[in-house]
Structure formats: C-alpha cells, structure tokens
Structure 1
Amino acid sequence: MTTRGYNNYNSLIIRTLNKISVFNKCRKDFFCEVVILLLSIKGRVNFLQLGRFGNFKEQRYRQQFEKPFPWLDFNKELTLSHGGSRFVIAFDPSYINKSGKKTPGVGWYWSGCAGQSKWGLEIGGLAAIDLDNHTAFHLEAVQTLIEDKQATSLTDWYVNVIKERKETLSSISKYLVADAWFSKKPFVDQIIGMDMHLISRLRDDADLKYLYLGPPTGKRGRPSKYAGKVITENIDTNYFELIEQNQEATVYSAIVYSKALKRNIRLVHVTYTSDKGKQIRKLYFSTDTQMDALEILDCYQSRFQIEFLYRDAKQYTGLNDSQARSENKLNFQFNAALTAINIAKVEHWLSQPKEARKPFSMTDIKTMNHNRLLLQRFIDVFGVNAYSAKNRNHVNELIYYGTIAA
C-alpha cells in the first residue's frame, strides 16, 4: 500500500472531470473536498461531520449535494483509464439502513446480511468488474423507487435502470452478470432485447433438456428438438464436454434448453468437492451459447467483487450514514461514497505493479488519510514546515501510525 497526498487525489479527480464535462472551479474544488473527507473522517460521515472537518459550513454541503453530478460518465472514464482490458458489467441491489417514514422510497427490502427483509432503502448498483485485476469499479447507484415511479414490479424497475444506461454500459461490455435471483424469463428477455447477454446461476433443480442432435427419424410430425431431461446429479458425459478437472472441482459444459427461460443457453455444470468429500453441484449459464465455459465461470465468480465495494463503502465512506430525506441528496451521498472507493483503489492499489500489490485495505487508507487530516491541522496551527528534508521522515511515520499493512 502506497501513501499518497491529497494533491494526488485532486489531480486524479480534476483530470477525469476535464475529460467528461465542463464544471467551474468552485464545483471541482467542492467535489475534491468531499472525496477527501469521505476517505479521511473516521466514524459516521454525514453533513454534521463534513461541516466539522471540512472547509465549508454544513449548509454548503447540503446545498451542493442537491445538485446533479455525472456519476456514470465519471466512473466510466476512471475505469477505462486505469483498469485492465477485459470487463463485465455487474448489477446487484443492496440494502441501506434508514429509519422514519418520510424519506422517498423507504420500505421493506431484502437484506442479504441479515437474511430477512428490513425497513430502509435499497440501491441498485452497477459496477464494472475488471477481470484482469480481479476487482470492481463502481459505475452508478440508483435508488429503488417503485411506488414513487409507479413501476409494476422489482424486475421491471431493475430492467429500466439498466435500459436507461445501456449505451454507456454496452461501451464497456456487452455482458451483464447478476446473481441467481435474476435468472428469470422477464429479466433475461429484456436484457437480450438490449443486445446484451446475461451471465448468472440457475437453481440447483433447474428443468433443463438435452438438444436432439441426431439425424431425422423419418416419422411424421415435427422433427425432434429435445432428447430428454438433464439430471444434474447424473449428467450424460457423452453429451457434455469435460472442460476441467482437479481436486476441488469438475467442470462440464454444453448447450441445453432451459424450460424456465424458454431458450437455449450455454450451461456450465460444476461439481465442487469439499475437504470432507461432500459434493455440491452448481449450474452457471450464459445466454451467449458461443461463450467459453471457463470465461463464464470466471465472470460469475468475479461478480462477488461488487459486494466488496458495498462492504467498504458501508464501513468506511458513509454509504449508510446519510441524514438527507431528499432524493437528490441521497443519490449524491450513495454515489460519492462508492466513487471514493474507486479513487482510493486507483491511487493506492492499481498504481503499483501487479506483482507487488498486497490485498486492498480500506482500513489502512482511511487511517493514513485521517492521520494526514489531523497532522495538517497541527501544521496549519503551529506553522511548522513539515515537508522539509529534516521533517519528512517524521511526517511519514505519523501518517502511517496505526496502519495494518504499513
């Protein structure tokens, strides 16, 4: 993990903003200030805390959070400029804590962490999964507002979120990866209609059929299309192609017909073997029947990187801490918290050679920036020349104080 000054954050943000939009200096400086504070303040990150630690009054932050910001364009530019060459788009909803009854969109939403529905808010997060660096870049978070926007169902709402941004998303990747909840015909059909493909996982007891590949029987009636049901516990190894086999897993793949999706899919059948010898079977698929089986597996397994974005943003950059009840202010805080993770990742982790990288640690980044924030306050008050050759080592020692992987 490398230490970086606030000037590095400012330079990265301003370079990216200059490529995508025309913001005045006041707006650029404000955005830089917010990102630095999100990466520096320990504890809750809300308007009150921003006013305490920042250069502006609390009311200024409230007013500026109401203004729109091109999150998708900003994060796309950041992703393509600093990421690898292979991406897949990930979509995943996430529960946000929120009490009260007056906030737009508040209601009962599923919390995967709690394993039950809880009262609060929900965001639908879009991220670019970098397959080369095995990490995720946040693109945009959109609050779920079914009742306010009169959407007919959650599925339709999620599809509309993707459809409204399909041009930008398609310029990054034509593949969308989502968890097993999204392996439904209404969702799949609309994703295909956007000229994109879905990578997901089926139920363990999914109803699948072999395709009939034999010659015509010569009998009257429609030619045979299917050759029996796929028994996932005992697949036909003459039909399925063995892709990979090792001590941990056995991977087979074939094109089969899905009764639930009513289309042919590329199925990846994986049998995992635990240390105790227990076998667990999982069914992954892509609507692109020509896609490589191991690439499907890699894309779906890399999907979990979006969960680390949510985890880091909730623990370190205030994703759960908004005091606002305005839809615009909430949107700004959700996206600012997740975008701050992108900026920290680019500056502290992706800037290093791949072979020299240690695990990405937001704990260390937050500690270093918090130390720097306090140290800068002492320097300003006491008028110390902290960056002279004599004092530089002492300053770096104080910045690293309390880090885990220093």
Structure 2
Amino acid sequence: MDIMAFLICLDNCIDKTTLSRLATIVDAMLSMTGRVTMLGISRWTEQGGSYRTIQRFFNTSITWYKINWFLIRKALTGMKEILLIADETVVTKSGKHTFGVDRFFSSILNKPVSSISFFSLSLLDVQNETSYSIMTEQIEKEKKNTENKGKKKKAKKKKNSSKKAPKGRKKGSKNKDKKNVALSSYHLWAQGLIKKVLNLIGAEIELRIFVFDGAFGNNESLQMVKQCGLELISKLRYDSALWFPYTGQYAGRGAYKKYGEKLDYTNISKKHLVSSETKGNVRTDIYNIQLWHKNFPELLNIVVIKKTNIMTNKVAHVVLFSSDLELHWNKIITYYRLRFQIEFNFRDAKQHWGLEDFMNIKEKPVYNGANLSMFMVNLSQILLQNQSVGLLSMNDLKTWFRGHKYMRTIIKLLPKDTDQTIIQELQNELSEIGRINLVKNAA
C-alpha cells in the first residue's frame, strides 16, 4: 500500500510542501513504536523527515476539516444513510502552560481533572457502522470576571409573615417564545462548527439527522440544531416530566387545554408497547409515544426503553427522543446506539495515534497535534478496508507497515542481484511478525 496514493486526493486543499511533510509523518506514525511525539516521529522518519521538519509542520496553519473531507469523501459516496454525530473528549495535561488547559470533567475518572478538551464532529456511515471524524476543535472555557470577587454582599431577606407572595404569574409577564431562544456562547460556537461542515459537504451527501448525548437533551440545543436544518436525536433525563396531548372536550371558555395526563414510567399502557424481548433474567420493553415536554415548543417522538430483572423485579429505563415525529422508533434506538462509534475514534486516537502523547503547549501545535491524531484514525480505517493483505486491527496495520519499513532497510544492504523471490518471502515474513490476527497466504 503506497501511502502517497491515498493522500494524493489532498492536493486540492494543502500545498505540496505540507502534503510532502504529511506523507513523511504518516509513514513514520504507521510503523513507529512508543509515544507519538514530535521527537518520536522524527526518529522513525526516513530521508526528509528531520525534527526541524516535523516542527515546521506542527506550526503550519492547516484546514483539517477540509483535509478530512477530501480523504473520506470517496468512502462515503453512495452510502444511503449518513448521520452527523458529535461528542467531547478530554486529554489529561499536567502543568499550566498548555494552551486551553483547565479543569474539565473526565467521564472515565468521574471527576474534573487538569486537562484540555476537544469537540469533535463526525460523519457516521450507518450501513458499515463506521465513524469518520471531520472536524475537531479545542474547547476554551470562558474566563470569569474576578474583579468584584469578595465585594458582593449577601442580600438579607426580610421576613414578613403578614404578607404572602401573590399566587399566579407576575403582573405584566408574557409568554416566552420557546422557538426563539437566546443561544449561549457554547451553542453559538457549536452551531458555527456544524454550519461549516454543512457548507463544506454541500449537496454531495444528504445530512438530515444530528445525534448527541444527553448534554443536548434540552430545548436550547434542539433549536440550535433545527436552525441548521437538521433533526435532533438525544436523551432526556430518566425522570423528565412528559405529558400526553389533551384529548378531552373543550371546556367552553379560556384557551384550549394542551397537556393531558402525565406519563407514569412505572405504569405505561400496553397500547404504546412496540417491542418486548426476554434474554436470561432481563425483560426489555420498548414504548413509542408522542408526548409534550413543557420546556419544548413542539411534540417529541419519545422512545422509552424499560428493563426489568425478572428475578429481583428491579426496573431501570432510558428516555430517548427525536424532533422528527415520523422517524421510526427502531431507527431512533439504532442511531443513538451508533453514536458510540465516535468514542471508538477517540479510543484509537489516544491508544495508537498520539492524542494522549503530544507534548506541544502552544495553540497551533496543540490544534495540529489533536487533528493529526484524528486524521490518522480516518486514514487507518480506510487502509483497513483494503483486504488484499488481510489486516483486521490497528495493531495489525502498524505491524505490517513496521515490517515493510524494516524490509526497506534490509534491501539497501543486500546485493543488487538478489533474487526477487527471496526478497518477497522476507517481506512477507517480516510483515507477519507480531500480528494478532494472522491471515496466511494473503496476497
């Protein structure tokens, strides 16, 4: 597999010098062992890959989301179902000098840690269950104003038992338009990233659904996504108050009633049951209902997944929702489950491609280091789709390239009249040493 053959599609979005440096770095990263730092990469590069060259690359302004799109476009062309998914990942960092370092919550450690955080957008191929990262941006926390810290005095509440607060709404208050919400700075920033991706892709791929975890399970996030022309799939709190639409008769005065009975998660009517399955001691019941949430302006397509332990009678449930009322309940579950593919991207980037290893501290090198790791995840997935050499995992891929790098070094030491059959046998043997999933007689 010639790496340059896979990277030649990038010549429209980066200059030749940067492309040449990228090819050199990619070749080194595919075969190297140890920590993926600038120094580590330079030790595995061949001619033209000095440490200074690596430094120049990491300090170059690169539009990574265009590079990722040109790389993955061919793999996604012709696919029927493509989703836009997103998530955040945290990279632990010690010290105080790394750009954007702060205390971010780590779901693995279950506590805030000194780290930097990245927001990543990916295109998900539903048919092949594969996620391709297209944009990764660093999250910066807003700096709090500490000028008046310590000067604020606690307001003393006057107790007056004789006067009670009047019932009902305050005089002059008006109904708020739940569709026209003021987006927070974080939502405006995320919305800008989504629009960038949509503008880049254009009409080449039809994107209709955006999937995010429970952090976007609120009306502000829903309106932000709908303003981009997409439908949202996310998760609500397990105890969210949901209401059936009112079906009774008009009282004859006042406004028409909107909310009917409140949903009781412990006693959902069987007429809303769409699937029931028992595996071992666990029964899984799935309910699909269109319900109101008082913080949302429109009906929501709700899917409640209820699991019951038959032996202990313990019950747990998850509440998924979509703004698309026509979307089938099975697709809501499938799409939300496939959102986890982006977590595998983060895992591979940290384990194999240096997302946890880079030592850069300045803004541009940090940005390039993170995006290079995510780019390598995309490239490695495309390389693994080439079944001619029988590679089944990231470790197999790196072992295969490492064997070929060793073979190139050996060939330089062999006599020029060495039989090509011997060279081919050596190459095959070297590329198989250390492979986990060994496929014999691979072409």
> Would the TM-score normalized by the shorter structure come out above 0.5?
yes
Aligned CA distance change for structure 1 residues 221 and 169 (closer, same or farther; 3 Å): farther
Map of 2:355 onto structure 1: 319
Q: 1:357 to 1:268 in 2, by over 3 A?
A: farther
- Structure (1 or 2) with the larger CA radius of gyration: 2
Map of 2:128 onto structure 1? 133
Deviation at 1:246, TM superposition (A): 2.2
Counting only pairs closer than 5 Å after superposition, residues 372-383 of structure 1 correspond to structure 2 as 372-382=404-414
Structure 1 residue aligned with 2:286: 251
Q: Which residue matches 1:195?
A: 229
2:400 counterpart of 1:368? yes
Computed over aligned residues only, the root mean square deviation of the Cα atoms, in angstroms, reads 2.8
Please state whether the residue corresponding to 1:232 is helix, strand or coil: coil
* Structure 2 residue aligned with 1:76: 69
Query: How far does residue 379 in structure 1 lie from its aligned partner after superposition?
Result: 2.7
Distance across 1 between alignment mates of 2:219 and 2:311? 37
The Cα shift of 1:134 comes to 0.9
Q: 1:86 to 1:276 in 2, by over 3 A?
A: farther
1:204-245 deviation per Cα after TM superposition (whole angstroms, max 9, x unaligned) = 11111111245x43521211212111112222333x3x3333
Q: 1:178 deviation in Å?
A: 0.9
Distance 1:391 1:379, change over 3 A: closer
- Cα distance in structure 2, aligned partners of 1:139 and 1:189: 23
Partner Cα separation in structure 2 for residue 170 and residue 269 of structure 1: 35
Q: Match for residue 393 of structure 1?
A: 425
What CA distance in whole angstroms lies between the structure 2 residues aligned with 1:357 and 1:229?
56
CA offsets per residue over residues 330-359 of structure 1, 9 Å max, x none?
A: 1111111111111111121x3349xx998x
From the superposition, tell whether residues 293 and 10 of structure 1 become closer, same or farther in structure 2 (CA, over 3 Å). same
Match of 2:252 in 1: 219
Q: Is the aligned partner of 1:301 residue 2:301?
A: no
**Residue 302 of structure 1: CA displacement?**
0.2
Match of 1:17 among 10, 18, 40: 10
Does the CA-based 8 Å contact 2:286-2:306 persist in structure 1? yes
Could you give the per-residue CA deviations for residues 291-349 of structure 1, whole angstroms, max 9, x where no partner exists? 1211111110000000001001101111111121221111111111111111111121x
Query: What residue is the counterpart of 1:94 in the other structure?
Result: 89
- SS of 1:123's equivalent in the other structure is strand
Q: Which moved more, 1:310-319 or 1:324-333?
A: 324-333
Distance (Å, rounded) in 2 between the aligned partners of 1:357 and 1:383:
31
**CA distance, structure 1, for counterparts of residue 200 and residue 310 of structure 2:** 44
Q: Name the CA distance, whole Å, in 2 between partners of 1:386 and 1:117.
A: 60
Distance 1:275 1:224, change over 3 A: closer
Task: Please say if residues 207 and 260 of structure 1, whose CA atoms lie closer than 8 Å, have aligned partners that are also in contact.
Answer: no
Structure 1 pair 346–50 and aligned structure 2 pair: CA distance change class (3 A): same
Query: Contact (CA 8 Å) 2:104, 2:116: kept in 1 or not?
Result: yes
Q: Please, which of 206, 220, 226 is the counterpart of residue 186 of structure 1? A: 220
Quick one: which amino acid aligns to residue 353 of structure 2?
Answer: T
Whole-angstrom CA distance in 2 between matches of 1:106 and 1:32: 30
Distance 2:216 2:70 in 1: 28
What letter is aligned with 1:61?
A: I
Q: TM-score, normalised to structure 1's length?
A: 0.87
- Offset of residue 371 of structure 1: 2.6
Any idea what SS the aligned residue of 2:278 has?
Answer: coil
Residue 82 of structure 1 aligns with an amino acid whose one-letter code is: A
Overall identity of the aligned pairs, in %: 24
Cα separation, partners in 2 of 1:405 and 1:275, compared to 1, 3 Å: farther
Q: Distance in 1 between matches of 2:418 and 2:278?
A: 56
The one-letter amino acid paired with 2:278 is Q
Q: Structure 1 residues 288 and 142, CA, compared in 2 at 3 Å: closer, same or farther?
A: same
8 A Cα contact 2:10 2:71, kept in partner? no
SS in 2 for 1:393: helix
TM-score normalised by the chain length of structure 2: 0.80
**Aligned with residue 105 of structure 2, among 87, 90, 110:** 110
Following superposition, the deviation at residue 377 of structure 1 comes to 2.5
Deviations 1:356-390 (A, max 9, x none): 998x5212212222232233223334467889223
Unmatched 5+ residue regions in structure 1? none
Task: Report SS of the residue matched to 2:36.
Answer: coil
**Partner of 2:321 in structure 1?**
285
Return closer, same or farther for 1:73/1:174 CA change in 2, 3 Å cut-off. farther
Picking from 45, 59, 64, the partner of 1:66 is 59
Aligned-partner residue type, residue 228 of structure 1: E
- What letter corresponds to residue 265 of structure 1 in structure 2? L
Cα pair 1:122 1:144 within 8 Å, conserved: yes
Q: 8 Å contact 2:14–2:62 — kept in the other structure?
A: no
**Whole-Å Cα distance in 2 between the matches of residues 149 and 33 of structure 1?**
43
Contact 2:306–2:318 at 8 Å: present in 1 too? yes
Counterpart amino acid of 1:81? K
Q: How does 1:121-200 map to 2 (within 5 A)?
A: 121-147=116-142, 154-168=186-200, 172=205, 173-200=207-234
Of the candidates 376, 398, 404, which is equivalent to residue 340 of structure 1?
A: 376
**Cα distance, 1:77 vs. partner?**
3.3
Contact kept? 2:234, 2:322, Cα under 8 Å: yes
Determine the C-alpha separation between the residues in 2 that align with 1:344 and 1:291: 33
- Higher relative contact order at CA 8 Å, sep ≥6: structure 1 or structure 2? 1
CA distance 1:134–1:231, shift in 2 (3 Å):
same
Tell me the CA shift for residue 149 of structure 1. 12
Does the residue aligned with 1:281 lie in a helix, a strand or coil? strand
Partner of 2:38: 47
Q: Distance in 1 between matches of 2:374 and 2:418?
A: 32
